[in-house]
A = this chain, B = another copy of it.
């Protein structure tokens, strides 16, 4: 299984907001650049707003960033748009047989280790800032017309 495209949609959106900060960036505009349905985009933006990453007002056109780009990490976005219901990264088979010695103790042996893997991944996501990505995109665009 894969982590939802909502994650990359969210990153793409934030880059757009920054790159076009001199104009009013709308969900329709983001939908055009990502090639994703406007309602889906608004759903993602809604989650980013709830996480305190962007600002928006009903009716008022124009999405803005709520914090500096170097204060937004991939982890923030991941948590905002993809971590549903506080479920972990790994889906354990529900209902191991408690009559079986192994089934009875499998969680004891696995839970910590799986949580550790998840934490490792999340820490790696924390290391990546949106400012890094935005800089890369801007520089790449600069060199496009040479």
A94 to B37, CA, bound (A): 12
* Copies of the chain in the assembly: 2
- A96 beta carbon closer than 8 Å to chain B: yes
Question: Residues 5-27 of chain A: 1 if any B CB is under 8 Å from the residue's CB, otherwise 0?
Answer: 10111011001100100000000
- A39 beta carbon closer than 8 Å to chain B: no
Question: Residues 75-95 of chain A: 1 if any B CB is under 8 Å from the residue's CB, otherwise 0?
Answer: 000000010000111111111
For chain A, the count of residues having a C-beta within 8 Å of the partner chain is 58
Q: Which residues of B contact A7 (CB under 8 A)?
A: 90-91
Instruction: Name the prevailing secondary structure of the A interface residues.
Output: helix
Smallest CB separation, A128 vs chain B (Å):
6
Residues of A within 8 A of B (CB): 1-5, 7-9, 11-12, 15-16, 19, 32-36, 74, 82, 87-97, 100-106, 108-110, 113-114, 116-117, 120-121, 124-125, 128, 132-134, 136-137, 140-141, 144
